[in-house]
Every structure is written in C-alpha cells, then in structure tokens.
Chains A and B, each alone.
Chain A
Amino acid sequence: MILRYTAQRLLMLIPVSFSISVVIFMIVYLLPGDPIDNLLRVGSSPEDRAELVAQYGLDRSLVVQYFVWIGNMFQGEFGQAIVLRRPVADLIAQNLPYSLTLGGLAFLFSSTVGMALGTLSAMVRNPVLDRFVRGFILLGSTVPGFWLALLLILFFSVNLGWFPVSGARGWESLVLPVLTIGFGGVALVARVTRVALLDVQREDFVTLLHAKGLSSGAILFRHLMPHALLPVVTILALRIGWILGGAVTVEFVFGRPGLGSLLIRALGQRDYPVVQACLLMLALAVMLGTLIGDVAQAAMDPRIREKKS
C-alpha cells in the first residue's frame, strides 16, 4: 500500500521536476554579466572569445543547451565549473558533506529538543513553564539568524573561548552553527508540537483512552505522540531545502563551506554550471522533502493513505 502510494507520488514528481529544471536553467540566463568575460584573458580578441563560448557550448540554441544539460544531469555529469575550473561534481562533493552534516545535526537538534519542549509545555500544566516555552518560541522565530550567530560568537568564542570563531574543522566548529540554526528550528518544532498536542488532547478519543484506564504516559507515547508527529514530520520534511540552502547566512558568518555558500559564490562569479547544479540539488532536496513528508504522513495516517491512492 505504502509502496504503491510512494510510486504514485514519484510519478507525479516527473512533470514537476521537468518544469523546475527549465526554471533553473532559465534563471541562469537572467543573470547579468558573463562568465566567459571572467575567463577571458585580459585584452584578448573576439575570436578568442568565440572559441571559449563554443568550448562551453554557449553558442548553441537555448533549447539544445537545455537538453544537453539535462541529459548530462541524468548521467550524474554536472559539467565543468567555468570560473573554478574543475568538475562541478567535485565542487558539490566537496561542499555537500558540510551542508549535510550541519543540516543533519541541526535537524536532529531541532526535532528532539523542539518536540521535548513542545510536549513539556502542552502536557505539564505549569503556567510558568508554558510561558517560558511560548516566549522561547516567539524569540526563536523572530531573532535574525546572523545576529544570533554574532552574539553566540561574542559570548562562546570570544569571551569564553569554548568554540572556534569560524571554520569547519572538528566537532567543535559545528556547535555554534548547529545552535544558531537549531534555535529557530527548535522554536518551530516546539510550536507545531505544542499546538498539535493541545489540539489532539481535546479529542474525544483521548478522554476515552483515560477512561480505559491507561496511564498518562502510555497515552502520551502510544496515542498522542503519533498525532503530534504528523505535522512535525510534515513541516520538517518541507524544511529540508530550508535547512540545506537556508544555512547560507550561518555559513557566511561562521566561514563554513556548504551548498548555500557555493551557490552564492557561484552567483557572484556567474559560474553558470555551478549555479545550475546547486539549484538543482536544492530543488531535488525540496522535492525529496515533500515526498518524504507525504509518504511519512501516509505511513502514519491510514486516512491519508486511502484518500489519495
């Protein structure tokens, strides 16, 4: 059942990915400037230029260029970076691990701490705790990430000297970036968990569960949590692109490499193939996230499973 559902969702992604790939391919042509100019030796002739343009296949029609490009993408062939002069795949392979590590840890951190906080504030009837959590949620969803990062650096790196100021060496350098991204993530997950739990607690079946003599703990873990998990999983899955690409601010402040930084640098250098590959990777992550979210929801909720298949 779940397999069939997944397959269906996958099929639906085909036209979507096609349109996305066209959009991404076109974005690059909206960019002003020309990477060839950056590549050309100073003072070179128009002939030199034409030769380079031909070498990178930029002289063919857009349609041809698109199909060549998408064909290569399918074979995992991302082409050659124009400014950075190396296979784009190498660049992605170099940067992606940093994004995945940071994103993965931030993801773990936000989901565990966020769910714990959300559950605490929804389940424990303590107005002080609830107010604290709600205050935290408000702060976490409003404080600009870069500013938080700066404050964390000031406090933990400069004043206390616990963690490095910047860079991507060792676990120490991950702590502050993960905290920065996690802060907002925790707030988000806590909010969703809290609302979901408060909502589901009002359901009749919860009263009945109590009436069955189940302990509050058993009710929370066996019955309430799955309901709270539904929206949390959905929102987190949708955030995969957010966590991978949106880390760019944090990467910038902490001087970390990553997909977002690579994209921004490539945008600045007008390095078409890199921009395209990065955007494609991010779009892929976004689609994958949506897919995971849908499938997870279907796996957890029989009603969705039937409605859609």
Chain B
Amino acid sequence: MHYSSKSKLLSGSAIVAGAFLFSAAAMAQDVTVAFSASELGATAYNPVAASKLNTATSLIFDRLVEQDADQSFHPHLATSWEETPDGMAWTFSLLDGVTFHDDTPFNAAAVQFWIASYEGTENEYLVEAIGSVDVIDDLTVRFNMDRPEPNLLYNLASAFMGIPSPTAYAALGDDFGVTAAVGTGPYRLESFEIGLQTVLTRNDDHTWGSDLSENTGPGHIETFTFREIPDQSTAFLELRTGGIELLLGVPTDFLQILQAEQNIEIIQMPGTGISYMPINVTAAPFDDIRVRQATGMAIDQDGIVAAVYNGVGAPARNFLISSLPEANVDPDLNVTYNPTRAGELLDEAGWMMGGDGVRVRDGERLSVDLFTENSTEFTRLTQVVQAQLGEIGMEATITVFDSSTIRDEYRRNAHQLAVRGYDWNNSDILDWFFSGNRLGYPNVSMWEDAEGQRLNDIAMTESATAAERIANFTTYHEYVLSQHLFVPIYQPTQNIAFNSDAITVPDPVRGSRFRGQSFLDIQVAE
C-alpha cells in the first residue's frame, strides 16, 4: 500500500522523492476518471460506517443485489431471495466461489458479521428492520425482520451496503477504508490520498459480475485512477484537454460545448435528485405560510431549465424525482410559477410593493438572506433565483459558504432561504429532510409538526408491502407540499462524458447510476 500508516513525519527528502513516483502513469490500460462534484470529499472507503461514499466504492465492494434503471432488482452476490408472505423473514442464497481481496471466502458467516457491524453507525437505519441474521448453511442466510421492510432490496442495492471482508474489517477497525479497503469487487484499492486521488487495480480473480454488465469479469482496464477535482469547470477542461478520460457528472452548463467536441461523447441518464430551495419556517417573514407559497410561485422552473440549463433536464414540481411513484401527487399541490398569484399572496400578507421594487410592511423591507454553497452549479442557479425573487419584490442577499460552514449556519438557525440539492432516488429522502428529529440539518426547513411526524412514522415503519409504502409516502409527500416548506426548482440529468478516442463505455448504461457494473464493461478504444 502506498498509503501505509505513518504516525511520524518522514524525513523531507524521502517525502519529496515520493511525490515524483506518480509520473509513471498514462499507459494504455490506465484510465483516469474525475468524480462528480457531489461525490467529492469522501473520507473513507467504508460502506458500513462512512456517511459519504463515491463511485470508486462500488468497484471495491460488491452488493447482494443490484438495481437496474427500471427500478427492478437483479441478483449479484445473492443468486436468489425469498420473502415470507408476512414480510417478517427474507432468505438469500449466496453465490459460490466468491473470495475477498484478502483471499478469505465470501459466505453466510461474512454476511452475518457484516449486517451486525452496522450497529451504532451512521448507516444503521439501512438494517434497522432486520432483527437478526441466521446462517442456514455456508451459502444461505435468513434475515429475521422486526417489522416488514418493503424497502429492503433497495437498501441492499445501495452503495452503503457493499460487503467488506470480515477479517479485514475486524483487524483494521477505524482504519478500514482508509489504509486499506477489502471487498469482493472487480477492483482493489491500491492507494487512497484523501481529497486527491484513489488508484484502483484490477482484481484478476473477479469472475462474478452481475447481469447488469456484459463482462462478468475480470475488468478490461488494468488501473482506474479516480481524481477529486474540486472545481467542476477544471474537470471539464481536463476532459477536453485529455487529462482525464471519463468525467462523472458534467455540469449541465458545459453539455453543449462538450457535445460539439468530436472526441467526446456524452451519456445522459435520468437524474437521481433535485435542486431546491428550502425555506426556514421559523424565520420571519417565512413563518407566514402565504409568504412561503408566494416564494414558491416566484420561481420560474421552466424558464430556468430553458435558460440556465439549455433545456437539459426537467423542472422539479415537488420534492421527489419524477421516476418515483411517490412523486405522483395531487397536481394542485405541485409548485408552479405564478407571479401574479404570488403578488396577491404577498399583498394579503401585508407586504406591499414599495417605490424601489422591494415590498414593504410596516416600514420593514422584504429583504431576506439567501445562502448557497460554493460550487459552480449552485452559485449560478442561486443568482438566477435571486433575480426571480426580485421580480415579486423580495430582495434576497446571497452569501456563499463552504459545505461545512453552511451546515453550521443551518444548525445555528441563521438561515432564511438556501439553494441546495440532494441526490437520492428513494422516497425515504422525505424523512431525511423533513423529520422533526433532525432540525437544522438535514431539516433545513426547521419544520416540526405533529401531523407531519405521524405521517412520517407510518411511511417509514408501518408499511407492510411495497404498494402500501408507496401510498403512505405519497400521503406524507402531499402533506409536506401543502405546508410550502421548500421550492422545487430543477431535476438535473446525470451526465457522464468520456473521451471516445481513449475508451468505450457500455451503451445503454444499465443500473440506476453509472458505477461498478458499468466500469466492468469499459474498454480501451481500438
């Protein structure tokens, strides 16, 4: 491992020499990838305990099941599964002959150890419904449920449920995913320089790719170097100048230019999140629901899609991506542009248009703070939002924070409006952002409501079947919308761009995201 544990500083000369080692790069079998902006800053390749994971994680670890773009589930390390009719037990048959990178076998005991290891971690909610895990035989496990969990397969397919080697996991403790990460995936972790780059090398033993890949393994490419390029526009220039071969997450602004490039191809996939503007319901003037509703009507989503994003992607009308069934709410509750009505609502609320285009009530100007994070995409969108709020007589002052500071600000309840986004393709994101247990952050809207919490609990824990879960979440979603806690703005597409002179990428991309299964099919271009 390059990144061995050095508790003391090395002598200067040795360090300097180390910095030059990377120059032996750029062989044909070496593909350089840049992460998308939302994946930057992962601190450990530990699916169990980490709160942030990037795409490279999905190449190191395999999961029991995979989810395709059509939301269907496919076998991976689990060859088949069965749910009891009451939903209180799941039995999984495991794939034979799978070994971890440290040559220990993948088996039922590994699964048992793995599920148990979630206890007390940030990601415990994923296995909350599982009461215990029984080893039936070496290749069969049974999850005994505390309550039915229609969302179990979704959880199992998530990046946070990659399966680590129990031996390595126990041995490394907190260092797991930092100094070494051991899974069964098609690539091994070669080196990890936090905030800079991760080098993965091919696992030649890997022959167990899922049916979402054409190639079942081992991978075609010898080495993947994942780079963290903080500025997306720099990443864009890197792709254009041949510094990287694959860019995960091209900001929509650059799509048109890249499309014009001969050697660059773009893959557009349905998005897995939205951009939105949470409204702090505890901060005046937004404690008045009419002001909140008016704020929502000030935002011209279609105009933004057309002008800011050149028509790529879709307007967001509610909190969930349109491919989720729970996004199908009563159309009256969807948030749409209506400046006239917004004006009426503000008039009703006592905010009258002043001489300089800013509304006034009792001598007080309708002047609010608008926070955002310092990434190219958000600052741009925020300035357009600022201008549109100005149209209805609301003067918004932008402050740009880094991602940590802005959370401090949310926790301090110092915010009024903010422009942000999330990336999650499941309706339980509603719980994450609107549960009264998480005021400040993630509940940026600072919304505490008994009825809301009741509907939340039902949706989260009292759904026996998938259909019930959909119904419960839809009800919860509709209630959230009725309170005007946020303004939905935009549903981006996932845009992946690659240098077609250098590599070929599977077409069409299977799976809900461009990750492990797709990397297995990447080849050097002829």
Contact = CB atoms under 8 A, between A and B. Distances in A.
Partners in one complex: yes
A282 B114 CA distance: 43
B260 interface: no
A257 interface: yes
A249 to B, nearest CB: 13
A166 B230 CA distance: 10
Contacts of A169: 22-23, 25
Contacts of A97: 15-16, 18-19
A86 B405 CA distance: 21
Interface in B1-49: 3, 5-10, 12, 15-16, 18-20, 22-23, 25, 43-44
Q: Which of A37, A153, A167 has the most CB of B within 10 A?
A: A167
Contacts of A76: 7-9
Nearest to B231: A255
Given A38-B407, A85-B43, A100-B15, A90 B6 contact: yes
A291 to B, nearest CB: 16
Contacts, number: 127
A268 interface: yes
Contact of B241 (A104, A158, A255): A158
B243 interface: yes
B174 A85 contact: yes
Interface in A76-128: 76-77, 83-87, 89-94, 96-98, 100-101, 104
A270 interface: yes
Interface stretch (B232-240, B388-396, B477-485): B232-240
A165 interface: yes
A42 B441 contact: yes
Nearest to A93: B6
B122 interface: yes
Contacts of A201: none
A32 B25 CA distance: 42
A139 B238 CA distance: 29
Interface residues of B, number: 49
Interface string B424-444: 000000000001011001100
Contact of B7 (A43, A77, A167): A77
Given A37-B407, A86-B194, A93-B15, A167 B227 contact: yes
Given A165-B234, A166-B243, A84 B16 contact: no
B48 to A, nearest CB: 13
A86 B180 CA distance: 12
Given A43-B437, A170-B23, A171-B20, A165 B241 contact: yes
B12 A100 contact: yes
Given A42-B442, A86-B178, A167-B243, A93 B10 contact: yes
A131 interface: no
A270 B404 contact: yes
Interface in A154-195: 157-158, 161, 164-171
A200 B22 CA distance: 46
Q: Which of B8, B15, B238, B435 has the most CB of A within 10 A?
A: B15
B513 interface: no
Interface in B190-234: 193-196, 227, 229-231, 234
| Interface residue range, chain A | 35 or more
Given A84-B43, A166-B238, A89 B243 contact: no
Contacts of B19: 97-98, 100-101, 168
Q: Which of A38, A94, A96, A104 has the most CB of B within 10 A?
A: A94
Contacts of A4: none
Contacts of B178: 85-86
A169 B242 CA distance: 14
B404 A268 contact: yes
Given A94-B193, A96-B9, A96-B15, A168 B402 contact: no
B194 A33 contact: no
A83 B50 CA distance: 11
A141 interface: no
A34 to B, nearest CB: 8
B147 interface: no
Contacts of A33: 404-405, 408
Contacts of A93: 6, 9-10, 15
A170 B26 CA distance: 10
A49 to B, nearest CB: 12
22 contacts: A41-B122, A42-B441, A84-B194, A85-B174, A85-B178, A86-B194, A87-B5, A90-B6, A93-B10, A94-B196, A97-B15, A97-B16, A101-B19, A157-B241, A161-B241, A165-B234, A167-B238, A167-B243, A168-B22, A168-B196, A170-B22, A268-B405
Interface of B: 3, 5-10, 12, 15-16, 18-20, 22-23, 25, 43-44, 122, 174-175, 178, 193-196, 227, 229-231, 234, 237-238, 240-243, 402-405, 407-408, 411, 435, 437-438, 441-442
Interface of A: 32-34, 37-38, 41-43, 76-77, 83-87, 89-94, 96-98, 100-101, 104, 153, 157-158, 161, 164-171, 252, 255, 257, 261-262, 265, 268-270
Given A32-B405, A38-B404, 17 more contacts: A42-B122, A42-B441, A76-B7, A83-B43, A85-B178, A86-B178, A90-B3, A91-B194, A96-B9, A96-B15, A97-B18, A157-B241, A165-B237, A170-B23, A252-B230, A255-B229, A270-B404
